[in-house]
Structure formats: C-alpha cells, structure tokens
C-alpha cells in the first residue's frame, strides 16, 4: 500500500549515495564550487532534492508549488522502476514520460539548453535529475539554490522526521495487522457459519439416519417375527408334508395295489361280466324252464279240470308227476349267482373309489408342501432384506454420527479461530490507536515548530504532507481523512 511505499521512501531518502558526500539532510552542500554543489544535490534522492528546493525558495516558489513538486517526485518514483524511492535521476526516455504526464511544453533538450546558458551543466549530460527540471521550469537561480540556508532547526526536522517514521511504521504495522485480523475474522466467521450449517445438516442427517435405523430395526423385528412364524408354519408344513408324503406313499402303494386290483378286477370284471352273462343266460334258461314248468303246471291243471273223464284223469296223473319234480336247486343257483355278481360290483367300485381318494390326498399334500416352502422362502428373503436394510441404516447412522462429530469439531475450531481473530483484531486496534497517537504527536510537534522563526519550511511542509498521506489510512472517526 501507499503507507508501506512511503515508509520505504522515507528510509531510502535518509542516506546519500556512497561517495563521501554529506547525508541528505545536511544543511550545507559539499563542493569547492557551486557547480560541484549542484552536482552533489542532483545525486540526492528525488525527495531530498524536492525538500532542498522548497527550503531554498519557500517564500517565492516553494509554498505555491509545493504540491506540484510532491506530484513530480511521486511520478518520478512511479516511472523509475529500477530504483523507485532511492532513485536520483531519470534517463531521457523516462524524463519525456514525466513531462508528458504533466502536459509540459518544454522538452528535455530545451531544458538542457537553458541550463547550459546559465552555466548549470556541461555539454555531455545523459541523465535528468528533478532539480534540473525545476531550475529550468521555475527559472530559479541555481547558485542561490545550492547555497540556500536550510533553516537552523535541523534537530527539530530530524526529530519530526523520526516521529513521522515511527508513526508511519506503527501505522503500517497496525494497518497490516488490522487487515490481516479483519480478513482472518471474516474468514473465521464464514468458516464458523459454514461449520454451523454443516453441523446442522449433519445433525438432521443423523436424526434421519436414526429414524431410518429405528424403522429398519422395527421392520427387521417384524420380519424376524414373520420369519419365525413362517418357520413354525414351515416346520408344521414339513411335518404335514412328511405325513402327507407318507400318506401319499401309502396311497401310492394303495393306488398301485388298487391299480393292480383294478386291473385284476377289470379282468375279473370281464370274467364276472362273462360269468354274469352266462349266469344271466343260465338264469334266463332257468326262468324259461321255470316258466315252462309253470305253464305246463297251468296247462295240466286246466286239462285236469276240463274235458272228458279219461282226459281229465290222464291230465291229473301227468300233473301229479309234474308237480312231483323239485325246482329248488334251480332257484338256489340263481340266487347264488346274483349275489356273486353284486359282490363283484361292490368290490370293483370300492377299489376305484380308494384309488381316486389316494390320488387326491397325495396331490393336496404336494400343494401344501409347495405353499409352505414358498412361504418359508419369502419369509427368509424378507428377513434378509430387513437385515440388509438394518445394516445399511446402522452404517448410515454411524456415518451421520461421524459427520456430526466432525462438524462439531470444525465448528469448535472455527469458533476458536474466530476468538483468536477477534483477539488479533483487538491487538491491531490497539496498535492502530498507538499509531494514531504518534501521528497526532507528530502533527502537534510540526505545528509547534512551524510557529518558530528560521525554520526549514519546505522540510516541515513535506513531513506534514507525508502525515496527511498517512492519515488516509486512519479511520475518519479517529482524525483520518478520506482517500
């Protein structure tokens, strides 16, 4: 900043080039001739040349043109990239830039012509010190310049200069510390706000993770309960399945036996059907015989009651002989045959019914077993999914807790950094107050010295002007001025 620039500038203007010349603040220029003295003056820094010129011509030129000389010095420092505040002269190109920046109409050649005409320089001059320019610009008597008194207040000037340097150094340090503290405080506050935001987000995420974990645990417990119920149902189903399989095996065996019996019965049935057909044919024959017997009985009975005696008697004898025959074996054989047919039908129907029932029982047992296995598999999948969800929720909760702890640590660190920054700001404020006190003391001393006769008013003005610049970096509430 400008304060640092001026502090460096002040330091460099206190020591002349190492050529056995007096220091820049000396009241007398060394040299056997005025020409030597001017050459020595031109080897001083830009600032030292300006102060000497102002002191020499304060009443005629200095007081009126002091601000312009100030601007010339600062522009020269800006142009002189190699030497800055320690510079003593510009080259011709740099000098042209300087003159152009102030819209000066006089050229470097015209300036040198003027100086040669008045004996200030020789023929071969390559560089342009500011003193040469001011002599030509203001038509100043250079012999008067190099021999002009610089006031009898050298000690006061040196004291004021020291006070200025001390104030500027303190102000520089205070400003730097204040800027650093302010930046650190802003960064700390921003970091603290960000850390608090992250902490709030982490706490919210942790709460959500805990809620998800609780939900996952509840779901897991429900899944475990369902799994246990499913396992119980599965065990029961397995037992029932085993029983059903046993029954199915038995039914299968029975079925196979039934099939065998069915086949046997089918064959038997065919046989029975054939036998039945034979029995029925036999029955039909028996019935036909019985009908014939009964018809003959009726016929002989009728004949025994009608016709002549002889014919009736003959019919009676035949009827008696006919009735003497026994029809009971025929009836018994018919009854036995009918009973055998009915028994065969019942046996065949019973075997077929038993086979169908066994097949249905085996099929139902298989369905029950498959349903139980599916229910158990679904319950196991649900439990595994619940376990995974619970594990994920626990992991998320752990991560959220870690994030919350990290955010709390970050927030604590940010608060600590803010506290340190506030302390640094307080120390910087105290340093600034001390610098402000030193500036005020330097101003008071300058005002006191300016009131005394025989002063180097140019030097005092310059110091006061530097104080004015320094006050641009002080708060306006503390006597500072706007930039």
Angle between helices 457-471 and 328-450 (to 10 degrees): 160
Q: Span 238-255, mean pLDDT?
A: 73
Give whichever of 14-18, 120-124, 254-258, 428-432 has the largest mean pLDDT. 120-124
The CA distance from 23 to 77, in Å, is 20
pLDDT, one tens digit per residue, over 153-174 is: 656 667 767 876 787 687 678 7
pLDDT, one tens digit per residue, over 433-476 is: 888 888 788 878 877 877 776 789 999 999 999 999 999 888 88
Say if residue 140's pLDDT is above 50. yes
Q: Span 424-430, mean pLDDT?
A: 88
Say if residue 8's pLDDT is above 60. no
pLDDT, one tens digit per residue, over 173-196 is: 876 877 787 788 689 889 889 989
Say if residue 306's pLDDT is above 60. yes
Q: Which of 50, 152, 84 is nearest to 465 (CA)?
A: 50
Q: Span 194-218, mean pLDDT?
A: 89
pLDDT, one tens digit per residue, over 34-44 is: 999 999 999 99
Q: How far is CA 16 from CA 25, 40, 52, 408, in A?
A: 9, 10, 14, 60
Angle between helices 92-101 and 130-138 (to 10 degrees): 50
The CA distance from 147 to 241, in Å, is 131
Mean pLDDT of the chain: 83
Give whichever of 169-173, 285-289, 295-299, 438-442 has the largest mean pLDDT. 295-299
Predicted local distance difference test score (pLDDT) of residue 55? 97
The CA distance from 27 to 52, in Å, is 9
Predicted local distance difference test score (pLDDT) of residue 341? 66
Say if residue 106's pLDDT is above 90. yes
The CA distance from 36 to 120, in Å, is 10
């Amino acid at each position: 900043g400008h304060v640092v620039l001026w502090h460096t500038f002040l330091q460099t203007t206190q020591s002349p080039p190492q050529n056995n010349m007096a220091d820049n603040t000396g009241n007398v220029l060394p040299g056997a001739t005025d020409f030597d003295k001017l050459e020595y003056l031109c080897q001083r820094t830009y600032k030292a040349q300006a102060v000497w010129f102002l002191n020499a011509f304060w009443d005629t030129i200095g007081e009126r043109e002091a601000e312009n000389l100030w601007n010339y010095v600062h522009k020269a420092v800006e142009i002189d990239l190699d030497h800055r505040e320690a510079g003593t002269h510009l080259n011709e190109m740099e000098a042209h830039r300087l003159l152009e920046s102030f819209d000066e109409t006089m050229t470097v050649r015209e300036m040198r012509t003027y100086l040669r005409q008045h004996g200030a320089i020789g023929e071969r001059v390559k560089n342009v010190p500011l003193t040469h320019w001011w002599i030509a610009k203001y038509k100043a008597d250079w012999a008067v310049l190099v021999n002009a008194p610089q006031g009898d207040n050298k000690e006061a000037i040196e004291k004021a200069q020291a006070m200025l340097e001390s104030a500027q150094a303190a102000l520089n340090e205070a400003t730097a510390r204040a800027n650093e503290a302010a930046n650190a405080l802003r960064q700390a506050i921003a970091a603290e706000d960000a850390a608090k935001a992250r902490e709030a987000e982490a706490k919210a995420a942790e709460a959500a993770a805990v809620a998800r974990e609780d939900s996952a645990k509840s779901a897991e417990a429900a899944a475990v309960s369902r799994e246990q119920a499913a396992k119980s149902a599965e065990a029961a189903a397995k037992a029932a399945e085993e029983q059903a399989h046993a029954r199915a095996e038995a039914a299968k065996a029975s079925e196979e036996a039934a099939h065998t019996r069915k086949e046997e019965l089918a064959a038997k049935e065919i046989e029975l059907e054939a036998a039945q057909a034979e029995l029925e044919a036999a029955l039909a024959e028996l019935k036909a015989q019985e009908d014939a017997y009964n018809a003959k009985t009726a016929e002989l009975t009728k004949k025994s009651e009608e016709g002549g005696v002889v014919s009736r008697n003959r019919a009676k004898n035949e009827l008696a002989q006919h009735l003497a025959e026994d029809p009971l074996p025929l009836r018994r054989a018919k009854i036995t045959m009918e009973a055998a047919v009915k028994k065969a039908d019942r046996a065949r129907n019973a075997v077929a019914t038993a086979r169908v029932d066994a097949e249905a029982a085996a099929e139902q047992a298989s369905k029950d077993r498959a349903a139980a296995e599916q229910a158990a598999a679904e319950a196991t999948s649900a439990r595994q999914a619940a376990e995974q969800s619970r594990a994920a929720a626990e992991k998320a909760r752990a991560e959220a807790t870690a994030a919350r702890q990290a955010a709390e640590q970050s927030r604590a660190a940010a608060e600590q950094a803010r506290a340190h920054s506030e302390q640094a700001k307080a120390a910087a404020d105290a340093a600034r107050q001390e610098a402000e006190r030193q500036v005020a003391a330097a101003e008071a001393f300058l005002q006191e010295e300016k009131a005394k006769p025989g002063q180097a008013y140019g030097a005092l003005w310059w110091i006061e002007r530097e104080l004015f610049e320094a006050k641009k970096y002080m708060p306006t509430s503390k006597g500072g001025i706007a930039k």
